[in-house]
Amino acid sequence: MKFGGMATKVSFIGLLLVINLALSTAYCAEKNIRIIANQSVDIDRLDNDQVKRIFTMYQTNWPNAQPIVVFVLANQNGTHQLFSREILGVFPYQLERIWNKLIFSGLGEGPIRVQTESEMLAKVKQQPGAIGYVMTSEIPMGIHLIQLIEEQ
Amino acid sequence: MPWLCLIVFFMFAFNVHADDLKIHGFVAQGVIQAQDSNFVQNDGEVSLKLTEIGLNGSYKINNQLRVAGQGVYLNGGNRYPEGFRVDYLFLEWKLLSDADWQLKLQLGRNKNYHWLYSATRDVPHTRPSIVLAQSMYFDAFRDFALGVDGIMAVANTQNAWGEWDINLSYGSTPVSNKQRDRLLGVHALGKVNHDKDMQASIFWRPKASQWQFGVSLLEVDFSYDAAEQDIYFDGATKTQRMNLHFLYQSENWEFASEFVREKPTLNGLFFPSYKLKTASDGGYVQGRYFLNPQLTLMTRLDLYDRDRNDRSGKKLEALSDGNIPAYFGYMDQLTLGLTWKFAKNIQVQTEYHRVKGTGHLAPYLIPNTEFNQHEYWDMWAIQLMYWY
């Protein structure tokens, strides 16, 4: 009975550790993704729902009416996969379908695709109203970092 | 087409900047066979009539106005008229697009955004299968279900319960003689008019959930102006349709389901005092499993009954003095499919259908008993597709 109780306690602690590890991984992944924007964007903070609304192309203007220009990495890119799952809360194939519906039914326009993070940084720096995301911590001058916050 | 003139005016009234113009397209060619049925062609032989080519453009005139259009060439055999057509072409006026609301109006030829796959049913790589569930996406009615020439309002918002899409459309569609033949058969000589089409839909994606629920309503009026030497008389029909839509998307698999209840009433057409009021229903459940980013398996069960008070079709057979077999009263099918995306923007899709009944084949009002002499029939298809 005593041994059984000990085993249960050990299993419980093990379960907690696994959950904690999983949560930490998700937290780290989320922390490592940096939402970047062009210097012309005067927004400093966004929550996950707002970021999702922008990347699913539902919100196409910044609050000051400036058009939003969305840049994304390729579907199979590791940064894109993490960004899609951890920040937007959708699987990459779901995003792809949302954009396909916009593009091939006339409902809207899809995002602009770039191949690498360095290309992402260059395009976002150059394009007024632009938003994108990277994993790299080497953010060059002239890029505006947007802080990801808890839901408002 | 006054709306077309309006759109062309807007295109030329403003200078075109390359950054504001987006071009995309797709090309697909396949092989298909629907044995013992006239679904694709009357002889039921192997056919190349599975061609879909499209080119679309979207041009931002300014931050509020946009023009979008798509031209397609389609060849689906008997499924719909072969040839080039303007799939959509409209002027969009964006009234609002902020953190909480998006609201826009589209004027011109709009797409049907009311069902799960209606917006891109002709775009091969966006479909779960080459031939969609016929209970919901009846190919003979394809051109009327694609969208309307008229006005469409599209709204989207998010709140504490989740995300909401609301769509409203009003308009009509020009009906060609080829489309008339798919409804009434080749002996019809008069003119079919699509007088009015009103649709509304609402979709809800609960917060922190992978579910999507939707409901859509349709009311559509058609009339028929008989020709002098016609086998038909003048007639009019009104159809009300309610659809329910369900979608669940997980990392490795997806579940989709749609149900339809349709209530058509018909006055005249067969003889001046003829009246018909009926109700048909159907629906499908579909599962997809993503083996890996390249390979997707699909299975679907699709059921359709032409008259919910005559699911076996026996009344239909009796009323026609045995001329129309009972199996024209329903059309159920099981589908198995595979999609292989073997390169960027290139994939091949293949599928097999086992079908029971012929209740949803063209021509719909006068069933073709000459080429559909079997209750059970098979269909297979394979299609290669590229998009950019």
List, for residues A95-116, the tens digit of each pLDDT value.
999 999 999 999 999 999 999 9
Q: Burial level of A123, CB count in 10 A (0-12/13-18/19+)? A: middle
Comparing A8-17, A47-56, B45-54, B176-185, the range with the smallest average pLDDT is A8-17
B203 interface with A at CB cutoff 8 Å = no
A112 interface with B at CB cutoff 8 Å = no
Confidence class for position A152, pLDDT limits 50, 70, 90 = low
Task: Tell me: pLDDT of B217 over 80.
Answer: yes
What class has domain A33-149? alpha beta
In angstroms, the CA B300 to CA B115 distance is 17
Using a CB-CB distance cutoff of 8 angstroms, which residues of chain B are in contact with residue A100? Answer: 120, 123, 125-126
Q: Which long-range contacts (CB under 8 A, 24 or more apart) does B222-228 make?
A: B222/B192, B222/B193, B222/B194, B222/B195, B223/B192, B223/B193, B223/B195, B224/B184, B224/B188, B224/B190, B224/B191, B224/B192, B224/B193, B224/B268, B224/B269, B225/B190, B225/B191, B225/B193, B226/B189, B226/B190, B227/B189, B227/B190, B227/B191
Residue A96 C-alpha, separation from nearest chain B C-alpha, in angstroms: 10
Interchain CB distance below 8 Å, A58 and B88: no
Of the ranges A3-7, A25-29, A51-55, the best mean pLDDT one:
A51-55
Structural domain harbouring B229: 2-387
Task: Tell me: pLDDT of B166 over 90.
Answer: yes
Q: How much is the pLDDT for B71? A: 96
Confidence class for position B48, pLDDT limits 50, 70, 90 = very high
Using a CB-CB distance cutoff of 8 angstroms, which residues of chain A are in contact with residue B63? Answer: 61, 65, 67
Comparing A13-17, A118-122, B36-40, the range with the smallest average pLDDT is A13-17
Using a CB-CB distance cutoff of 8 angstroms, which residues of chain B are in contact with residue A107? Answer: 111, 113, 119, 154
Residue B74 C-alpha, separation from nearest chain A C-alpha, in angstroms: 15
Task: Tell me: pLDDT of B339 over 90.
Answer: yes
High-pLDDT (> 70) share of chain B, %: 95
Q: What is the mean pLDDT of residues B252-263?
A: 97
Domain layout of chain A by residue ranges: 1-32, 33-149
Q: How much is the pLDDT for B185? A: 82
Residue B97 C-alpha, separation from nearest chain A C-alpha, in angstroms: 5
Q: What is the mean pLDDT of residues B155-171?
A: 95
* Encoded tokens for A140: 């060059």
Q: Do the beta carbons of residue B129 and residue B334 sit within 8 Å?
A: no
B94 interface with A at CB cutoff 8 Å = yes
Collapse the DSSP code of B49 into the 3-class scheme (helix H, G, I; strand E, B; otherwise coil) and give the result: coil
Is pTM beyond 0.90? Reply is no
Confidence class for position B20, pLDDT limits 50, 70, 90 = confident
Q: What is the mean pLDDT of residues B123-139?
A: 96
* Encoded tokens for B275: 């009246």
Q: Which of A100, A101, A37, A107 is nearest to A68 (CA)?
A: A37
Q: Which of B54, B201, B55 is nearest to B116 (CA)?
A: B201
Confidence class for position A10, pLDDT limits 50, 70, 90 = very low
* Encoded tokens for B194: 């699509």
Give the nearest partner residue to A67 out of B56, B63, B70, using CB atoms: B63
Interchain CB distance below 8 Å, A104 and B158: no
Radius of gyration of chain A (CA): 19
Mean pLDDT score across all residues of chain B: 92
* Encoded tokens for A93: 């194939």
Q: How much is the pLDDT for A6? A: 46
Q: Calculate the dihedral angle through the C-alpha atoms of B262, B137, B199, B255, rounding to the nearest 10 degrees.
A: 100
In angstroms, the CA B53 to CA B92 distance is 24
Q: How much is the pLDDT for B184? A: 85
In angstroms, the CA A130 to CA A84 distance is 18
**ipTM entry:** 0.90
Interchain CB distance below 8 Å, A65 and B63: yes
Give chain B's domain count: 1
**pLDDT tens, position by position, B351-367:** 999 999 999 998 888 88
A75 interface with B at CB cutoff 8 Å = yes
β partners of residue B10: none
A137 interface with B at CB cutoff 8 Å = no
Using a CB-CB distance cutoff of 8 angstroms, which residues of chain A are in contact with residue B256? Answer: none
Using a CB-CB distance cutoff of 8 angstroms, which residues of chain A are in contact with residue B290? Answer: 93
How many CA atoms within 13 Å lie on the side-chain side of B331? 23
Q: Which residue of A has its CA nearest to B123?
A: A104
Write the CATH number for B285.
2.40.160.10
Of the residues A104, A112, A127, A146, the best mutation for testing chain B's interface (the one with the most B CB atoms within 10 Å of its CB) is: A104
B355 interface with A at CB cutoff 8 Å = no
Residue A85 C-alpha, separation from nearest chain B C-alpha, in angstroms: 10
Q: Do the beta carbons of residue A71 and residue A130 sit within 8 Å?
A: yes
Residue B195 C-alpha, separation from nearest chain A C-alpha, in angstroms: 24
H-type alpha helices, B77-162: 142-145
Q: What is the mean pLDDT of residues B218-241?
A: 93
Backbone angles phi, psi at A93, to 5 degrees: -65, -30
Chains A and B form CB pairs within 8 A to the count of: 77
In angstroms, the CA B245 to CA B137 distance is 13
In angstroms, the CA A118 to CA A125 distance is 11
Q: What is the DSSP letter of A34?
A: E
Radius of gyration of chain B (CA): 21
Task: Tell me: pLDDT of A2 over 60.
Answer: no
Give the nearest partner residue to A107 out of B97, B119, B251, using CB atoms: B119
Q: How much is the pLDDT for A25? A: 38
